[in-house]
Amino acid sequence: MRADIVHRRRLAAQLLSGEPATDPVAVAGRLLAVQAQDLRAARLAVRARTKGLTAQDVDRCLTVDRSLVVTWLNRGTLHLVRSEDYAWLHAVTTPQLRTSNARRLAQEGVSQQQAERGVKVIQRALADGPLTRASARERLDAAGVPTAGQALVHVLMLTCLQGDAVRGPVVGGEQAYVAVPDWLGHQPSVDRDTALAELGRRYLAGHGPAADRDLAKWAGVTLGDARRALLSAPQPQTTVVPELPPPRLLGPWEPLLLGWSSREEVLAGQTGLVTVNGVFKPFALVEGRAVATWRLTSGRAMVETFVPLADKVVAALEEDGEDVVRFLGG
Helix segments in 108-222, DSSP class H: 112-126, 133-142, 151-161, 180-184, 192-207, 212-219
> Per the structure, how many domains does the chain have?
1
Domain that holds residue 307: 248-328
What is the reported pTM?
Answer: 0.95
Instruction: Name the region of 181 (left: φ>0; alpha: ψ -120 to 50; beta: rest).
Output: alpha
The reply to whether 264 falls in a domain is: yes
Q: Using alpha carbons, select from 54, 84, 15 the residue that is nearest to residue 255.
A: 15
Q: What is the pLDDT of residues 95-127, one digit of tens each?
A: 999 999 999 999 999 999 999 999 999 999 999
Instruction: Name the region of 287 (left: φ>0; alpha: ψ -120 to 50; beta: rest).
Output: left
3-state helix, strand, coil in the chain (%, to 5): 50, 15, 35
The reply to whether 153 falls in a domain is: no
The reply to whether 5 falls in a domain is: no
The reply to whether 290 falls in a domain is: yes
Cis, bond preceding 209 (omega within 30 deg of 0): yes
The reply to whether 196 falls in a domain is: no
Q: CA-to-CA distance for 61 and 291, rounded, in angstroms?
A: 32
The reply to whether 278 falls in a domain is: yes
Other CB atoms closer than 10 Å to residue 225's CB: what's the count?
Answer: 21
H or E element in which residue 57 lies: helix 55-63
3-class DSSP assignment, residue 73 = strand
HSE of 295 in the Cβ direction (CA atoms, 13 Å)?
Answer: 6
Predicted confidence at residue 270, as pLDDT, reads: 83
Answer for the pair 44, 270: CB distance below 8 angstroms, yes or no: no
Q: What are the E-state strand segments in the chain?
A: 34-35, 68-73, 77-82, 165-171, 174-179, 248-250, 283-286, 289-297, 300-305
Q: What is the pLDDT of residues 122-133, one digit of tens each?
A: 999 999 999 999
3-class DSSP assignment, residue 249 = strand
Answer for the pair 68, 81: CB distance below 8 angstroms, yes or no: yes
The reply to whether 267 falls in a domain is: yes
Q: CA distances (Å), 189 to each of 8, 70, 185, 283, 285, in order?
A: 38, 20, 13, 40, 41
Q: CA distances (Å), 144 to each of 66, 119, 283, in order?
A: 33, 12, 43
Per-residue pLDDT of the chain (330 residues; tens, 9 = 90+): 788 999 999 999 999 999 999 999 999 999 999 999 999 999 999 999 999 999 999 999 999 999 999 999 999 999 999 999 999 999 999 999 999 999 999 999 999 999 999 999 999 999 999 999 999 999 999 999 999 999 999 999 999 999 999 999 999 889 999 999 999 999 999 999 999 999 999 999 999 999 999 999 999 999 999 999 999 877 777 778 899 999 999 999 999 999 999 999 999 888 888 875 778 999 999 999 999 999 999 999 999 999 999 999 999 999 999 999 999 996
Predicted confidence at residue 276, as pLDDT, reads: 59
DSSP readout, 270-286? --TTB-TTS-B--EEEE
What distance lies between CA 223 and its chain's CA centroid? 21
The reply to whether 223 falls in a domain is: no
